[in-house]
Amino acid sequence: MNKQVNLIHKGLIDYKECWDYQTSIFDEIIEQKILIRKGLAKEKETQNFLIFCEHPHVYTLGKTGEKSNLLIDENVLKSKGVNYYHINRGGDITYHGPGQIVGYPILDLDNFFTDINTYLRYLEESVILTLRDYGIDSMRLKGATGVWIDGDNPLKARKICAIGVKLSRWVTMHGFAFNVNTDLEYFNHIVPCGIKNKEVTSLEKELGVKQDLIEVQNKLLFHLSNLFGFQFI
Contact between 69 and 194 under an 8 Å Cβ cutoff? The reply is yes
193 is catalytic: yes
Catalytic residue among 18, 53, 161, 193: 193
Centroid of chain to Cα 169: 20
Residue 183 burial (10 A CB sphere; 0-12, 13-18, 19+): middle
Phi, psi dihedral angles at 52 (to 5 degrees): -110, 135
Give the type of residue at 80: K
- Who's near 123: CB < 8 A, 6+ residues apart? 103, 105, 163, 175, 176
Q: Give the pairing type, strands 158-168 and 144-149.
A: antiparallel
**What phi-psi label fits residue 197: left (phi over 0), alpha (psi between -120 and 50 degrees) or beta?**
left
CA-to-CA distance for 102 and 211, rounded, in angstroms? 15
CA separation for the pair 8, 127 (Å, rounded): 19
Q: Which residues are catalytic?
A: 193
